[in-house]
Amino acid sequence: GRRDYTLIVFALNTGLRNSEVIGLNVVDVNPFGTIVKELNLPALIAKNNKPRRIPLNDYIISVLGLYLFEETNLKRITGDKTPLFRSLYSNKRLGQRDFQQILDRHSINALGRHCNPHILRHTFATNLVKQADIKIVQEILGHASLQSTQVYLHPSSSEKLDAVNRLTLGHNR
Catalytic residue among 3, 17, 67, 86: 17
Is 121 designated active site?
Answer: yes
What is 80-143 written as a DSSP string? TT-BSSB-TTT-PBPPHHHHHHHHHHHHHHHHSS---HHHHHHHHHHHHHHHS-HHHHHHHHT-
DSSP letter (8 states) at residue 47: G
Catalytic residue among 47, 76, 93, 106: 47
Is 89 designated active site?
Answer: no
Catalytic residue among 3, 67, 86, 121: 121
Distance between CA atoms of 12 and 50, rounded to whole angstroms? Answer: 21
Buried b (16+ CB within 10 A) or exposed e, 50-63: eebebebeeebeeb
Is 59 designated active site?
Answer: no
Distance between CA atoms of 70 and 77, rounded to whole angstroms? Answer: 10
Residues in the chain: 173
Catalytic residue among 118, 130, 135, 154: 118
Helix 58-73 × helix 2-14 angle, to 10°:
150
Catalytic residue among 3, 67, 86, 143: 143
Catalytic residue among 3, 67, 86, 152: 152
Is 106 designated active site?
Answer: no
The catalytic residue positions are 17, 47, 118, 121, 143, 152
